[in-house]
Amino acid sequence: MKDRCDIAIVGGGVIGLSIAYNLAVRGVRDVVVVEGGYLAGGASGRNGGGIRQQWSTRRNIQLMQESLAICKRFAKELGVNIWLRQGGYLFLSKNEAETARLEKNIKLQNDYGVPTRMLSPREALEVVPELDTSRFVAASYNPTDGILFPWPFLWGYADGARKRGVEIHTHTRVTAIERGDGFLVRTTRGDVQAKRVVNAAGAWSPEVARLLGIELPNWPVRHEILSSEPLKPFLRPMVSVLGNGLYFSQSMRGEVVGGITVHEERTNEIKMGSTLRFTQTIARAMIEVIPRFGELKIVRQWAGPYDMTEDGNPIIGEAVPGFYLCCGFMGHGFMMAPVMGKLYADWLSGGPKHEIFDRWRLARFTEGNLEKEDFIIG
Amino acid sequence: MPKVIVCRCEDVTLRDVQHAIEKGNCDIEEIKRYTGFGTGPCQGKECVWAVARILAEKTGEDVPPFTSRPPIVATAMKYFARPDESDEK
């Protein structure tokens, strides 16, 4: 590891790597990424790969439009196939209240050019013929949402960053961060003196911030997910049930990949073990909306940490001079990473600072200026 | 050189694994993700030892298997959907 650098990024997940790559593209190449495990070891490698523009606030809708645009250019720009497939997202509502929520969001989405529309259960059958129409009353459908394969996305950013001079150190844990002439970042494989530090450690970000005596309010929640045997392509959109947080889609490998909310007591412990309770909960929920899933074989299940915040929005911006945060992505960091990396790199390379860096700064939790994003799924 | 398959489910070759190691993937979890070996129907039961051996020969260190994922064998959803005693918890 080099002795000195301009920017040290803690966390080799998709957020950290996206920032590193985008910085390097803008000529800021004196960057070191430090990852405690392997690339894709945390939530970045454990998520369902969904990318949607169906959100409930203007900011998130617009950010996700830009993220999707970046995803569409990704293969060409980075030379790696991310298996992006725009099969849409179909949200099922089970009652009037949920339908009203969808309608309100659709109006906002349409205002910003996202072609989401409301479908009756019968119309939804044209999109997914296997659905049991007695199980929902309406659906919102945006055909331009999609899914991608998370792992190559990370490798694309990592290779792109490395080629431009960024150092990426995996299996290298940060043990201390000391202030004074920037930051001395001590790791299990040597120390680096950095002018600036970015905390992109996801569910581990409170631990990293604590090394500087900064308390973060985000907390980890185990989120489980499973994959089926591969089937021939039959399912175009990601299907999600609003009431219980179920979502599932068919990957380009043919597997049905799905997750669901299972409530657990809040703790600060990062749990990544699998539970039978999850398997039972999701099996029942999936069979309820598509009865033929009863015969679908589960091949494996795993878990990853959602990195939760009180208002459903991330924690970004400068916490103390020179120490930047990019965490609290609520299980939706993967889809946010392309645009976040771009905006962060614009700012840190001397370009414009987007208003989200003030809006979503750490201080909002103590100032009480919270705008709630209620379209967090899973 | 003949093509040597190490993971039959996902068609991963010896060369794929060697390439993954050359790219800097140094533990078996990383190689699983980079090549896709062990992610098919057998979930690594046939191939994890073969990849572990290649990695062990390269690094000279012991290589533990990757984290095994439930269920033990591919199982239809209907068997998990039935009510049972764990519902009480």
CA gap B48, B7 in Å, rounded: 8
Write the pLDDT tens digit of every residue in A167-210. 999 999 999 999 989 999 999 999 999 999 999 999 999 999 99
Contacts of A347 (CB under 8 A, 6+ apart): A353, A354, A357
Nearest to A38 among B30, B67, B80 (CB): B30
Residue contact B27–A229, C-beta within 8 A: no
Prediction pTM value = 0.96
B69 Cβ under 8 Å from any chain A Cβ: yes
Residue A373 has a pLDDT of: 81
- Provide, as residue numbers in chain B, all residues whose Cβ is less than 8 Å from the Cβ of A155: 34
Bridge partners, A306 (sequence order): A221
Using pLDDT thresholds of 50, 70 and 90, give the confidence band for residue A260.
very high
B19 Cβ under 8 Å from any chain A Cβ: no
Residue contact B33–A45, C-beta within 8 A: yes
Using pLDDT thresholds of 50, 70 and 90, give the confidence band for residue A376.
confident
Write the pLDDT tens digit of every residue in A78-129. 999 999 999 999 999 999 999 999 999 999 999 999 999 999 999 999 999 9
Q: Which domains does chain B have, with CATH numbers?
A: 5-88 (1.10.10.1100)
A312: helix, strand or coil: coil
B17: helix, strand or coil: helix
- Provide, as residue numbers in chain B, all residues whose Cβ is less than 8 Å from the Cβ of A300: 39, 43, 69-71
pLDDT at B86 over 90: no
CA gap A256, B76 in Å, rounded: 13
**Domain A86-143+219-307 falls in which CATH fold?**
D-Amino Acid Oxidase; Chain A, domain 2 (3.30.9)
Asked if CATH classification 3.50.50.60 holds for the domain at A4-46+151-218+310-367, the reply, yes or no, is yes
- Extents of the domains making up chain A: 4-46+151-218+310-367, 86-143+219-307
B61 Cβ under 8 Å from any chain A Cβ: no
Among A168, A280, A288, most B C-beta atoms within 10 A, so best to mutate, is A280
- Provide, as residue numbers in chain A, all residues whose Cβ is less than 8 Å from the Cβ of B31: none
| Cβ atoms A282, A227 nearer than 8 A | no
B72 Cβ under 8 Å from any chain A Cβ: no
CA gap A359, A367 in Å, rounded: 11
CA gap A349, B5 in Å, rounded: 46
Own/partner pairs, A131-134, CB within 8 angstroms, 24+ separation: A131/A92, A131/A239, A131/A289, A131/A290, A132/A288, A132/A289, A132/A290, A132/A291
- Provide, as residue numbers in chain B, all residues whose Cβ is less than 8 Å from the Cβ of A274: 69-70
ipTM: 0.91
**Closest chain B residue to the Cα of A285, Cα to Cα:** B81
Give, in order, the Cα–Cα distances in Å from A26 to each of A22, A125, A204, A350, B62. Answer: 6, 47, 28, 10, 42
Residue B84 has a pLDDT of: 76
